[in-house]
Protein backbone atom coordinates (compact mmCIF):
# COMPACT_ATOMS: atom_id res chain seq x y z
CA UNK A 1 0.00 0.00 0.00
CA UNK A 2 1.24 3.47 -0.87
CA UNK A 3 1.57 6.38 1.53
CA UNK A 4 -0.07 9.60 0.37
CA UNK A 5 1.55 12.98 0.86
CA UNK A 6 -0.63 16.02 0.23
CA UNK A 7 0.09 19.72 -0.09
CA UNK A 8 -1.73 22.60 -1.68
CA UNK A 9 1.36 23.22 -3.79
CA UNK A 10 4.98 22.15 -3.97
CA UNK A 11 6.19 22.77 -0.42
CA UNK A 12 5.33 19.24 0.64
CA UNK A 13 8.00 17.96 -1.76
CA UNK A 14 10.50 18.86 0.97
CA UNK A 15 8.71 16.38 3.25
CA UNK A 16 8.51 13.77 0.49
CA UNK A 17 12.24 14.02 -0.22
CA UNK A 18 13.12 13.54 3.44
CA UNK A 19 10.70 10.62 3.72
CA UNK A 20 12.12 8.98 0.58
CA UNK A 21 15.67 9.23 1.91
CA UNK A 22 14.60 7.70 5.22
CA UNK A 23 12.23 5.12 3.67
CA UNK A 24 13.55 4.18 0.21
CA UNK A 25 11.35 1.06 -0.11
CA UNK A 26 8.02 2.79 0.53
CA UNK A 27 5.73 3.73 -2.38
CA UNK A 28 4.65 7.36 -2.08
CA UNK A 29 1.94 9.19 -3.99
CA UNK A 30 2.27 12.97 -3.89
CA UNK A 31 -0.73 15.17 -4.66
CA UNK A 32 -0.43 18.92 -5.19
CA UNK A 33 -3.72 20.83 -5.34
CA UNK A 34 -2.06 23.39 -7.57
CA UNK A 35 -5.37 24.54 -9.05
CA UNK A 36 -6.44 25.96 -5.68
CA UNK A 37 -3.07 26.97 -4.19
CA UNK A 38 -2.19 28.75 -2.04
CA UNK A 39 -4.40 27.66 0.86
CA UNK A 40 -2.89 30.14 3.30
CA UNK A 41 -5.25 32.97 2.33
CA UNK A 42 -8.46 30.87 2.17
CA UNK A 43 -11.22 30.50 4.78
CA UNK A 44 -11.24 27.55 7.17
CA UNK A 45 -14.31 26.07 5.43
CA UNK A 46 -12.65 26.31 2.01
CA UNK A 47 -9.50 24.65 3.33
CA UNK A 48 -11.52 21.85 4.93
CA UNK A 49 -13.50 21.09 1.76
CA UNK A 50 -10.43 21.18 -0.49
CA UNK A 51 -8.38 19.05 1.89
CA UNK A 52 -11.11 16.40 2.19
CA UNK A 53 -11.39 16.23 -1.61
CA UNK A 54 -7.63 15.84 -2.03
CA UNK A 55 -7.30 13.21 0.69
CA UNK A 56 -10.20 11.26 -0.81
CA UNK A 57 -8.36 11.29 -4.14
CA UNK A 58 -5.36 9.69 -2.41
CA UNK A 59 -7.58 7.13 -0.66
CA UNK A 60 -9.05 6.27 -4.07
CA UNK A 61 -5.49 5.83 -5.42
CA UNK A 62 -4.84 3.12 -2.84
CA UNK A 63 -3.43 5.03 0.13
CA UNK A 64 -4.70 4.15 3.59
CA UNK A 65 -2.31 6.60 5.26
CA UNK A 66 -2.06 10.23 4.18
CA UNK A 67 0.32 12.86 5.52
CA UNK A 68 -0.93 16.43 5.33
CA UNK A 69 2.40 17.98 4.36
CA UNK A 70 0.69 21.35 4.54
CA UNK A 71 0.62 23.30 7.77
CA UNK A 72 -2.42 25.28 6.67
CA UNK A 73 -4.43 22.09 6.08
CA UNK A 74 -3.10 20.55 9.30
CA UNK A 75 -4.07 23.68 11.24
CA UNK A 76 -7.45 24.43 9.69
CA UNK A 77 -8.82 21.03 8.65
CA UNK A 78 -7.20 18.05 10.38
CA UNK A 79 -9.03 18.16 13.71
CA UNK A 80 -12.39 18.56 11.97
CA UNK A 81 -11.56 15.66 9.63
CA UNK A 82 -10.58 13.43 12.53
CA UNK A 83 -13.78 14.22 14.40
CA UNK A 84 -16.14 12.95 11.74
CA UNK A 85 -14.87 12.57 8.19
CA UNK A 86 -12.02 10.04 7.96
CA UNK A 87 -13.32 6.60 6.87
CA UNK A 88 -12.73 3.54 9.03
CA UNK A 89 -9.40 1.89 8.31
CA UNK A 90 -7.84 5.10 7.01
CA UNK A 91 -5.42 7.41 8.81
CA UNK A 92 -4.55 11.07 8.26
CA UNK A 93 -1.62 12.65 10.06
CA UNK A 94 -0.49 16.28 10.20
CA UNK A 95 2.91 17.93 10.36
CA UNK A 96 2.62 19.69 13.74
CA UNK A 97 3.16 16.56 15.81
CA UNK A 98 6.86 15.89 15.05
CA UNK A 99 7.63 19.59 15.41
CA UNK A 100 6.12 19.85 18.88
CA UNK A 101 7.75 16.57 19.89
CA UNK A 102 11.13 18.06 18.96
CA UNK A 103 10.47 21.43 20.60
CA UNK A 104 9.20 19.98 23.90
CA UNK A 105 11.49 16.93 23.88
CA UNK A 106 8.65 14.58 24.77
CA UNK A 107 6.94 11.83 22.79
CA UNK A 108 3.46 12.42 21.41
CA UNK A 109 2.18 9.45 23.40
CA UNK A 110 3.34 11.09 26.63
CA UNK A 111 0.04 12.16 28.19
CA UNK A 112 1.51 13.51 31.43
CA UNK A 113 0.48 17.05 32.43
CA UNK A 114 2.11 20.01 30.65
CA UNK A 115 5.47 20.95 32.09
CA UNK A 116 8.11 23.61 31.72
CA UNK A 117 10.58 23.20 28.87
CA UNK A 118 13.92 24.80 28.17
CA UNK A 119 12.71 27.04 25.36
CA UNK A 120 10.58 29.91 26.65
CA UNK A 121 10.44 32.35 23.71
CA UNK A 122 9.44 30.90 20.33
CA UNK A 123 8.96 32.63 16.99
CA UNK A 124 6.44 31.02 14.63
CA UNK A 125 6.59 31.83 10.92
CA UNK A 126 3.58 30.53 8.98
CA UNK A 127 0.87 31.37 6.46
CA UNK A 128 -1.91 33.76 7.48
CA UNK A 129 -4.42 30.88 7.79
CA UNK A 130 -2.10 28.83 10.03
CA UNK A 131 -1.43 31.83 12.26
CA UNK A 132 -5.16 32.65 12.46
CA UNK A 133 -6.01 29.07 13.49
CA UNK A 134 -3.73 29.20 16.57
CA UNK A 135 -3.46 25.42 16.14
CA UNK A 136 0.24 25.37 16.95
CA UNK A 137 -0.27 27.24 20.23
CA UNK A 138 -3.20 24.97 21.13
CA UNK A 139 -1.26 21.76 20.56
CA UNK A 140 1.82 23.14 22.30
CA UNK A 141 -0.23 24.09 25.38
CA UNK A 142 -1.18 20.42 25.90
CA UNK A 143 2.48 19.58 26.44
CA UNK A 144 4.31 22.66 27.73
CA UNK A 145 3.69 25.59 30.02
CA UNK A 146 5.26 29.00 30.16
CA UNK A 147 6.18 29.15 26.46
CA UNK A 148 5.66 32.54 24.85
CA UNK A 149 4.86 32.12 21.12
CA UNK A 150 4.98 35.13 18.83
CA UNK A 151 3.49 34.35 15.41
CA UNK A 152 4.26 36.15 12.17
CA UNK A 153 1.98 35.69 9.16
CA UNK A 154 4.35 35.50 6.19
CA UNK A 155 2.16 36.61 3.34
CA UNK A 156 3.69 36.33 -0.13
CA UNK A 157 6.55 33.96 0.65
CA UNK A 158 4.81 30.83 -0.65
CA UNK A 159 3.76 32.59 -3.86
CA UNK A 160 7.32 33.78 -4.49
CA UNK A 161 8.73 30.28 -3.93
CA UNK A 162 6.09 28.66 -6.15
CA UNK A 163 6.93 31.21 -8.86
CA UNK A 164 10.64 30.40 -8.52
CA UNK A 165 11.47 33.97 -7.47
CA UNK A 166 13.86 33.21 -4.62
CA UNK A 167 15.32 36.72 -4.60
CA UNK A 168 11.88 38.09 -3.75
CA UNK A 169 11.31 35.26 -1.26
CA UNK A 170 14.56 36.09 0.56
CA UNK A 171 13.61 39.75 0.74
CA UNK A 172 10.23 38.83 2.17
CA UNK A 173 11.83 36.52 4.74
CA UNK A 174 14.06 39.34 5.97
CA UNK A 175 11.04 41.65 6.18
CA UNK A 176 8.95 39.14 8.14
CA UNK A 177 11.80 38.34 10.53
CA UNK A 178 12.29 42.06 11.11
CA UNK A 179 8.57 42.46 11.87
CA UNK A 180 8.63 39.59 14.34
CA UNK A 181 11.76 40.68 16.17
CA UNK A 182 10.20 44.08 16.74
CA UNK A 183 7.58 42.18 18.79
CA UNK A 184 9.93 39.55 20.25
CA UNK A 185 13.49 40.91 20.20
CA UNK A 186 15.24 37.76 21.39
CA UNK A 187 13.51 34.51 20.39
CA UNK A 188 15.33 31.37 21.54
CA UNK A 189 13.85 29.19 18.81
CA UNK A 190 12.02 29.65 15.54
CA UNK A 191 9.46 27.36 13.95
CA UNK A 192 9.23 27.31 10.16
CA UNK A 193 5.53 26.47 10.09
CA UNK A 194 5.18 25.91 6.36
CA UNK A 195 6.66 23.09 4.31
CA UNK A 196 7.84 25.58 1.68
CA UNK A 197 10.06 27.32 4.21
CA UNK A 198 12.85 24.71 4.46
CA UNK A 199 13.96 26.01 1.07
CA UNK A 200 14.51 29.36 2.77
CA UNK A 201 16.17 27.92 5.89
CA UNK A 202 19.47 29.73 5.32
CA UNK A 203 17.65 33.04 4.81
CA UNK A 204 15.66 32.61 8.02
CA UNK A 205 18.77 31.56 9.97
CA UNK A 206 20.81 34.49 8.69
CA UNK A 207 18.06 37.00 9.47
CA UNK A 208 17.43 35.56 12.96
CA UNK A 209 21.09 35.10 13.90
CA UNK A 210 23.18 32.08 14.75
CA UNK A 211 21.97 31.96 18.38
CA UNK A 212 18.38 31.10 17.39
CA UNK A 213 17.63 27.39 16.91
CA UNK A 214 15.50 27.00 13.79
CA UNK A 215 13.16 23.99 13.60
CA UNK A 216 12.34 22.90 10.05
CA UNK A 217 9.77 20.21 9.45
CA UNK A 218 10.94 18.03 6.56
CA UNK A 219 13.48 15.84 8.38
CA UNK A 220 11.40 15.74 11.57
CA UNK A 221 8.36 14.48 9.67
CA UNK A 222 10.50 11.93 7.82
CA UNK A 223 11.81 10.49 11.08
CA UNK A 224 8.35 10.44 12.65
CA UNK A 225 6.91 8.67 9.61
CA UNK A 226 9.71 6.10 9.70
CA UNK A 227 8.91 5.39 13.34
CA UNK A 228 5.21 5.02 12.54
CA UNK A 229 5.80 2.66 9.62
CA UNK A 230 8.18 0.55 11.69
CA UNK A 231 5.21 -0.15 13.94
CA UNK A 232 2.87 -0.63 10.95
CA UNK A 233 5.02 -2.66 8.59
CA UNK A 234 2.60 -3.12 5.67
CA UNK A 235 3.81 -0.22 3.55
CA UNK A 236 6.96 -1.69 2.02
CA UNK A 237 6.93 -1.58 -1.77
CA UNK A 238 9.21 -0.77 -4.69
CA UNK A 239 10.04 2.78 -3.67
CA UNK A 240 8.59 4.24 -6.87
CA UNK A 241 6.89 7.62 -6.31
CA UNK A 242 3.95 9.04 -8.27
CA UNK A 243 3.30 12.76 -8.61
CA UNK A 244 -0.25 14.06 -9.19
CA UNK A 245 -1.55 17.61 -9.57
CA UNK A 246 -4.92 19.28 -10.03
CA UNK A 247 -3.17 21.98 -12.05
CA UNK A 248 -1.38 22.00 -15.40
CA UNK A 249 0.98 18.98 -15.23
CA UNK A 250 3.58 20.52 -17.56
CA UNK A 251 3.70 23.81 -15.67
CA UNK A 252 3.77 22.10 -12.28
CA UNK A 253 6.49 19.68 -13.45
CA UNK A 254 8.64 22.59 -14.59
CA UNK A 255 8.21 24.38 -11.28
CA UNK A 256 8.86 21.22 -9.26
CA UNK A 257 12.02 20.52 -11.26
CA UNK A 258 13.24 24.04 -10.52
CA UNK A 259 12.07 23.68 -6.91
CA UNK A 260 14.08 20.49 -6.20
CA UNK A 261 16.75 20.96 -8.88
CA UNK A 262 16.06 17.52 -10.38
CA UNK A 263 13.55 16.23 -12.91
CA UNK A 264 10.07 15.75 -11.49
CA UNK A 265 7.16 14.74 -13.73
CA UNK A 266 3.57 15.30 -12.62
CA UNK A 267 0.44 13.82 -14.16
CA UNK A 268 -3.15 15.02 -13.90
CA UNK A 269 -4.96 13.96 -10.73
Q: Does 232 lie in the same domain as 148?
A: no
Enumerate the active-site residues. 70, 194
* SS3 assignment for 27-48: CEEEEECHHHCCCCCCCHHHHH
Contact in structure between 179 and 149 (CB atoms under 8 Å):
no
Q: Does 197 lie in the same domain as 228?
A: no
Q: What are phi and psi of 91, to 5 degrees?
A: -140, 135
Whole-angstrom Cα distance, residue 173 to residue 168?
A: 9
Q: Does 31 lie in the same domain as 45?
A: yes
Whole-angstrom CA distances from 119 to 96, 134, 191 are 17, 19, 12
Q: Does 212 lie in the same domain as 101?
A: yes
**Before 38, cis peptide (omega within 30)?**
yes
Q: Does 112 lie in the same domain as 42?
A: no
- Provide the pLDDT for residue 224: 81
Q: Does 111 lie in the same domain as 91?
A: no
- Provide the pLDDT for residue 110: 67
Q: Structural domain of residue 170, as residue ranges? A: 97-216
- Provide the pLDDT for residue 234: 59
Q: Does 212 lie in the same domain as 116?
A: yes
Q: Provide the residue-wise pLDDT of the chain in tens; the chain has 269 residues.
A: 789 999 998 989 989 998 888 888 889 999 999 999 888 889 999 999 999 999 999 999 999 999 999 988 998 899 999 998 999 999 999 888 788 888 887 765 666 788 888 899 999 999 888 898 898 898 888 888 989 999 999 989 988 988 889 999 999 999 999 999 999 999 999 999 888 898 899 999 999 999 999 998 887 887 888 777 777 665 566 778 999 999 999 999 998 998 888 899 999 99
Element (H, E) at 66: strand 63-68
Q: Does 222 lie in the same domain as 161?
A: no
**Of 201, 216, 231, at which residue does a domain stop?**
216
CATH number at residue 80: 3.40.50.1860
- When divided into structural domains, the chain yields a total of 2
Q: Does 109 lie in the same domain as 70?
A: no
Q: Does 230 lie in the same domain as 162?
A: no
- Provide the pLDDT for residue 143: 84
Q: Does 171 lie in the same domain as 87?
A: no
Amino acid sequence: MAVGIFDSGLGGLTVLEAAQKRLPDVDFIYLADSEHAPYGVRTADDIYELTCAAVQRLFDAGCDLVILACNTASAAALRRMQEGWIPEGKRVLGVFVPLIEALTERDWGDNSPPREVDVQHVALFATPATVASRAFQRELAFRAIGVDVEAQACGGVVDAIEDGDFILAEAMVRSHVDALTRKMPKPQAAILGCTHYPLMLDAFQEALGADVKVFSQANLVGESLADYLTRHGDKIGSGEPAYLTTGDPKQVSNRATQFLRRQITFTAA
